[in-house]
């Protein structure tokens, strides 16, 4: 028997705010979080701006600070978002929770969590004569820099481990690294875990920061980032003819998923139901979307079939909408293929125009936006859309939020490597 799965809590740490209502208000107001990069000196980089989390200290959110000492930004954002989601679900006040049936599925970023310490340790250990890092010298330096030791030895699943320790979650524990689709995949797979009865509660979402020299350099070399340094606050321009790439953001989004029976038995406040999930691979190129949108079409179609709804039932699409030339036009083409004559009528928007691209955390944050759109019957805008691209001719809710009937939402996430994931949620 397939169980019904609901969302009972959510939390985020974003460039537009650290609590649900602040960030949501900023999104509806069309506020841009994009500023000159402050995490490191990016003044000589082709892209010197980003959407950063500001005035944040994860230690105010955790109950076991000694267990999380020295974590990097990636893990710190996850800890804050999960604390907020846990509290909003009411599970912090629920004494009867079986923690062996409490699981976590996290979409988390790759690589060293504290890149700056990693670079500093390598430079300090450099041997000019051998033109290489001297491992003995490096070890001595790292020993002196205990923070560097902790961070350099992190594995990509370390955020997951920290969340499990903080929540005392003894159930299924999974981590995926499917780039920009990771947190959407994590939520979809967590839904399947609950449906088949392997857990009662799943914490699902994502956390990521790539606002460090390696991350920015990599995306600049791929020509994926906007280089509009002279006009950075409007640099994120999804679906606009003048768009020239995405803007890096960072943060975390976490949701509490439960079986409907479990949520009702404890008297939880049910926010919405997850009704559909679809996943596919382009099998095309590592960094490019398949030109006809084949993978995106499959993911959306599978999600619709899983939900048992038709395109005409969808009231709002939260687009992947990165602001790159290829993504926006191909996503538009895919929506047209799936939605047919209804494509022109369904509103679509991209919050990446305001808070940048949170990479592995993007899908979870965007799904939270969908929950809020259903709650308030309001759609967030796509800002900076002043010169529409003829190839992007859908209703993108340009520049101003909109009152609307919103009962069913579809959220898209497409990742490097050709990963495509779509979720559908319904108001209850």
**Domain containing residue 292: CATH number:** 3.40.47.10
Query: Torsions phi, psi of 356, nearest 5?
Result: 70, -175
CA 89 to chain centre: 20
| Nearest CA-CA partner of 112 in 72, 56, 58, 81 | 72
Q: Output the pLDDT for position 148.
A: 46
Q: Output the pLDDT for position 149.
A: 43
Tens of pLDDT along 392-407?
999 999 999 999 999 9
Q: Output the pLDDT for position 5.
A: 98
Report the alpha-carbon distance of residue 23 to residue 16 in Å, rounded.
5
3-state helix, strand, coil in the chain (%, to 5): 40, 25, 40
Tens of pLDDT along 26-69?
999 999 999 999 999 999 999 999 999 999 999 999 998 999 98
Q: Output the pLDDT for position 141.
A: 65
Report the alpha-carbon distance of residue 170 to residue 143 in Å, rounded.
33
Please indicate, yes or no, whether residues 386 and 410 belong to a single structural domain of this protein: yes
Question: Domain limits at 121?
Answer: 117-151
> Model's pTM, two decimal places?
0.93
Q: Is 232 assigned a catalytic role? A: no
Please indicate, yes or no, whether residues 146 and 158 belong to a single structural domain of this protein: no
| Nearest CA-CA partner of 239 in 399, 50, 403, 406 | 399
Please indicate, yes or no, whether residues 146 and 199 belong to a single structural domain of this protein: no
Q: What is the mean pLDDT of residues 328-350?
A: 98
Please indicate, yes or no, whether residues 364 and 322 belong to a single structural domain of this protein: yes
Please indicate, yes or no, whether residues 45 and 161 belong to a single structural domain of this protein: yes
Tell me: pLDDT of 154 over 60. Answer: no
Please indicate, yes or no, whether residues 126 and 270 belong to a single structural domain of this protein: no
Report the alpha-carbon distance of residue 76 to residue 60 in Å, rounded.
10
Please indicate, yes or no, whether residues 145 and 49 belong to a single structural domain of this protein: no
Tell me: pLDDT of 341 over 70. Answer: yes
Tens of pLDDT along 183-219?
999 999 999 999 999 999 999 999 999 999 889 999 9
Q: Output the pLDDT for position 72.
A: 83
Kindly name the residue from 180, 272, 370, 392 that is annotated as catalytic: 180
Q: Band the pLDDT of 231: cuts 50, 70, 90.
A: very high
Strands 173-176 and 102-108, by their bridges, are: parallel
Q: Output the pLDDT for position 152.
A: 45
Summary mean pLDDT of the chain: 92
Please indicate, yes or no, whether residues 230 and 305 belong to a single structural domain of this protein: yes
Q: Output the pLDDT for position 112.
A: 52
Please indicate, yes or no, whether residues 121 and 206 belong to a single structural domain of this protein: no
Q: What is the mean pLDDT of residues 327-353?
A: 98
Please indicate, yes or no, whether residues 314 and 335 belong to a single structural domain of this protein: yes
- For 133-200, the DSSP string reads E-HHHHHHHHHH-HHHHHHHT--TTHHHHHHHHHHT--S-EEEE--GGGHHHHHHHHHHHHHHTTS-S
Please indicate, yes or no, whether residues 72 and 132 belong to a single structural domain of this protein: no
Tell me: pLDDT of 355 over 50. Answer: yes
Tens of pLDDT along 94-150?
888 999 999 999 998 655 555 666 666 667 777 777 677 677 766 666 666 544 444
Q: Is 212 assigned a catalytic role? A: no
Q: Is 370 assigned a catalytic role? A: no
Kindly name the residue from 320, 370, 392, 409 that is annotated as catalytic: 320
Q: How many domains does the chain have?
A: 2
Kindly name the residue from 162, 272, 357, 392 that is annotated as catalytic: 357
Please indicate, yes or no, whether residues 378 and 246 belong to a single structural domain of this protein: yes
């Amino acid at each position: 028997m397939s169980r019904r799965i609901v969302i009972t809590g959510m939390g985020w740490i974003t460039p537009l705010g650290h609590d649900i209502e602040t960030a949501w208000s900023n999104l509806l107001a069309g506020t841009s979080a994009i500023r000159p990069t402050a995490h490191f000196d990016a003044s000589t980089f082709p892209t010197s701006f980003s959407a950063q989390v500001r005035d944040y200290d994860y230690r105010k959110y955790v109950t076991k600070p000694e267990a999380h000492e020295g974590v990097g930004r990636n893990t710190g954002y996850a800890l804050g978002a999960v604390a907020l989601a846990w509290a909003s679900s009411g599970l912090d006040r629920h004494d009867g929770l079986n923690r062996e049936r409490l699981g976590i599925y996290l979409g988390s970023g790759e690589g060293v969590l504290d890149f700056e310490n990693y670079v500093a340790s390598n430079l300090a250990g450099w041997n000019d004569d051998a033109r290489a890092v001297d491992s003995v010298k490096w070890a001595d330096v790292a020993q002196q820099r205990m923070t560097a030791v902790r961070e350099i030895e992190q594995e990509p699943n370390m955020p997951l481990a920290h969340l499990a320790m903080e929540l005392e979650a003894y159930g299924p524990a999974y981590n995926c690294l499917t780039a920009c689709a990771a947190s959407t995949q994590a939520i979809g797979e967590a839904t399947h875990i609950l449906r088949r009865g392997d857990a009662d509660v799943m914490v699902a979402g994502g956390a990521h920061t790539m606002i460090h020299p390696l991350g920015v350099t990599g995306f600049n070399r791929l020509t994926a980032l906007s280089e509009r340094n002279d006009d950075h606050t409007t640099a994120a321009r999804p679906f606009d003819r003048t768009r020239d790439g995405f803007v890096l953001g960072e943060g975390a989004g976490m949701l509490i998923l439960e079986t409907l029976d479990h949520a009702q038995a404890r008297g939880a406040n049910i926010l919405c139901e997850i009704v559909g999930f679809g996943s596919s691979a382009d099998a095309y190129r590592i960094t490019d979307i398949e030109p006809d949108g084949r993978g995106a079409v499959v993911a959306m179609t599978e999600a619709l079939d899983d939900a048992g709804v038709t395109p005409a039932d969808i009231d709002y699409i939260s687009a992947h909408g990165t602001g790159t030339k290829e993504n926006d036009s191909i996503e538009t083409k895919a929506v047209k293929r799936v939605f047919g004559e209804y494509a022109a009528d369904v509103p679509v928007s991209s919050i990446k125009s305001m808070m940048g691209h949170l990479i592995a955390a993007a899908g979870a944050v965007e799904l939270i936006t969908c929950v809020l759109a259903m709650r308030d019957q309001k759609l967030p805008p796509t800002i900076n859309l002043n010169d529409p691209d003829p190839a992007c001719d859908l209703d993108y809710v340009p520049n101003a939020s909109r009152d609307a009937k919103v009962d069913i939402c579809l959220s898209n996430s497409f990742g490097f490597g050709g990963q495509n994931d779509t979720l559908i949620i319904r108001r209850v």
